Amino acid sequence: MRVFKFGGASVKDPDAVRNVVSVLKEVGYLDTLVVISAMGKTTNAMEKVVESYFYDKGALNASIQEVIDYHEGILSGLFENPNHPIYGNIKLLFDEVKGFLAWNKSPKYGFVYDQVVSYGELLSTTILSAYFNEVGLSNTWLDVRTMIKTDNTYRDAQINWERTQQEVAVRVDMSKLNITQGFLGSDDNNFTTTLGREGSDYTAAILAYCLNAESVTIWKDVPGVLNADPRNFEEAQLLQQISYREAIELAFYGASVIHPKTLQPLQRKEIPLHVKSFVNPKDMGTTVGKGIGIVPKVPCFIVKKHQVLLKLSSLDFSFIVEDNISEIFKLFHDHRLKVDMIQNSAISFSVCLDNKFKGLQPLLEELKKKFKVVCHEDVSLYTIRHFDEEAVKSLQNGKSVLVEQRGKETVQLVVQ
C-alpha cells in the first residue's frame, strides 16, 4: 500500500479538488491511503473561531459563518444537485461545532482548540470522499481519530504507538482507496487531539509505519524539496535525492516542505518519501531514502520568522553552569517555548525561541527573578546548511546580526 498526503493548497477550491482526482487517475489510486488536510486556510479560520469563543464572543457567529460560506462555495462548485446528501452531512458537522461551543464548560484553551480546529479536516475529507464517489473513484472514509491514539497533550499530542498499530491494522482495507484526515488523533477518553501545526505529513508517516507501506508521497505546490523556500529566496534549486539524515537536519532547522517529525518513523522502516508536485505529477520531484544521494552541492537556506531572542546573564557575575541551564530549560518546557538555537559563555546564555503557544510573558517574569534578561521579539533565525562565505554574506547584507553561530556544516544567524 502507498500513502499519499494532500495539503490545504491542493484542495483549496473546486478546481483544486478536481485536480486531485486527475492526479489520482494519472498515478493510480488502488491500494492507496490518502491523507487530506483542511481546505485552504481553514485551519487559520477555525483558530479565529476559537479566539472569538474565548476573547470576543460578539464575533463568534461571524467567524463560524465565514468557514460555512467558504465550504458551501466549494460544495456548490463540485455538486450541481442542491439536494445531494453531502449538503446535509456538512451541515451536521457545523452543527456539531456550534453544539460543542454551546455546551462546553472547559476553560482550557488547548482542549477547546483541538475539539474545534479539528473540524477543518473532517469537513475536507467528507467533501472529497463524496466527490470521489461522484466521479467514479470508489473509496472508504476513515476517521483517523479511531486509529491514531495519543496522550492528552492538546495541540501537540504524543503518539501511543502500540495502540495506534493495533487500531490501524483492523481498520484499513489495504486493497481499496481510503481517505482519512491529517493532523488528528484521540486520547484515552476519545477526545480529539491534534499533532501540532502542519501535522498532516506526520500523520502520513505514522500510518505508513503501521501499514508497512511501500512509500509515502507528499503532494505539494512546489516541484519537490528545494534548497530554499521560493517565497523567501530567489533562484531556489531542486534537490532530487537526499538521505533521511539530510532531510531530518533540514526539517529540524525549519524547512517547511517536510514536517520535523515525519522522517523518524519512515527511517525506522526504511520507507521512501517522495515529495512531488500536484501540478506536474509525473515530474521526478524529490526522493528521501536510506543513504541515497550525496550532500547537496549548493547551500540550503532556511528561515524561521517571528522568533524571540533572549540573552540571559547572571546578576552577580557568577558562572552560568549546569544547574542554571537545567533550571532555564525546565522553564522553557513549563511555558511551552521551543528552543531553536543556543549559545552560551561563562556568564551569559543566549537562546532563540519559538513562542507559538504564547508563553513568553510569564516566562520572562520567572527569569527576571534570577537573571538579567534582554529580550528581542520578532527576530528571524536563518540557517544555512553546507554554507560558503558568499551564502553567509548574502544574508548579512543590510541586516543587523544579533547572534552568529558556526559549525562544520551549518551556520545560524539571528537577525533583526
Cell of 327: 533550571
pLDDT band at 290 (very low <50, low <70, confident <90, very high): confident
Residue 408 or residue 187, greater confidence: 187
**Ligand-binding site membership of 406 (annotated):** no
pLDDT at 234: 83
Q: Cα angle vertex 34, ends 31, 37, to 5°?
A: 175
Task: Please state the φ and ψ torsions of residue 32, each to the nearest 5 degrees.
Answer: -135, 135
pLDDT at 273: 96
Q: Which amino acid is at 336?
A: R
Please say whether the beta carbons of 411 and 383 come within 8 A: yes
Give Cα separations from 133 to 5, 128, 178 (angstroms). Answer: 19, 9, 12
Q: What is the DSSP string of 53-111?
A: HHH-GGGHHHHHHHHHHHHHHHHHHH---TT-HHHHHHHHHHHHHHHHHHH-----HHH
The owner of cell 467533501 is 127
Cβ-based neighbours of 25, under 8 Å, separated by 6 or more: 137
Q: Rounded distance, CA 149 to CA 157, Å?
A: 9
Please say whether the beta carbons of 177 and 123 come within 8 A: no
58-115 pLDDT, tens per residue? 999 999 999 999 999 999 999 999 999 999 999 999 999 999 999 999 999 999 999 9
Domain ranges within the chain, ordered by starting residue:
2-213, 300-415
Q: Rounded distance, CA 261 to CA 201, Å?
A: 8
Residue 54 has pLDDT above 80, yes or no: yes
Q: Which amino acid is at 311?
A: K
**In 324-344, which positions are buried (b, 16+ CB within 10 angstroms) versus exposed (e)?**
beeebeebbeebbbeebbeee
pLDDT band at 231 (very low <50, low <70, confident <90, very high): confident
316-349 pLDDT, tens per residue? 777 776 777 888 999 999 999 999 999 988 778 8
Please say whether the beta carbons of 132 and 11 come within 8 A: no
Task: Please state the φ and ψ torsions of residue 303, each to the nearest 5 degrees.
Answer: -130, 135
Cell of 326: 537545567
pLDDT at 278: 96
Residue 293 has pLDDT above 70, yes or no: no
Residue 48 has pLDDT above 90, yes or no: yes
* Average confidence (pLDDT) over 368-374: 92
Q: Rounded distance, CA 142 to CA 168, Å?
A: 10
* Average confidence (pLDDT) over 140-147: 98
Instruction: Show the DSSP H helices in 305-372 as ranges.
Output: 322-334, 360-367
pLDDT at 205: 97
**Residue (of 127, 163, 124) closest to 145 by Cα position:** 163
Question: Strand 410-415's sheet: what is its strand order?
Answer: 338-344, 348-354, 300-314, 371-385, 410-415, 401-406
What CATH number is given for 2-213 in this structure? 3.40.1160.10
pLDDT at 297: 78
User: What is the sign, positive or negative, of the torsion defined by CA atoms of 167, 43, 224, 305?
Assistant: negative
pLDDT at 88: 97
265 alpha-carbon distance from chain centroid: 16
Least confident of 95-99, 175-179, 233-237, 404-408: 233-237
**In 304-314, which positions are buried (b, 16+ CB within 10 angstroms) versus exposed (e)?**
beebbbbbbbb
Cell of 142: 476513515
Please count the CA atoms within 13 angstroms of the CA of 274 that sit on its side-chain side: 19
Q: Rounded distance, CA 160 to CA 129, Å?
A: 27
> Other CB atoms closer than 10 Å to residue 196's CB: what's the count?
15
166-215 pLDDT, tens per residue? 999 999 998 999 999 999 999 999 999 999 887 899 999 999 999 999 99
pLDDT at 291: 79
* Average confidence (pLDDT) over 345-363: 90
Residue 295 has pLDDT above 80, yes or no: no
pLDDT band at 294 (very low <50, low <70, confident <90, very high): low
Q: Rounded distance, CA 89 to CA 29, Å?
A: 25
The CATH class of the 300-415 domain is alpha beta
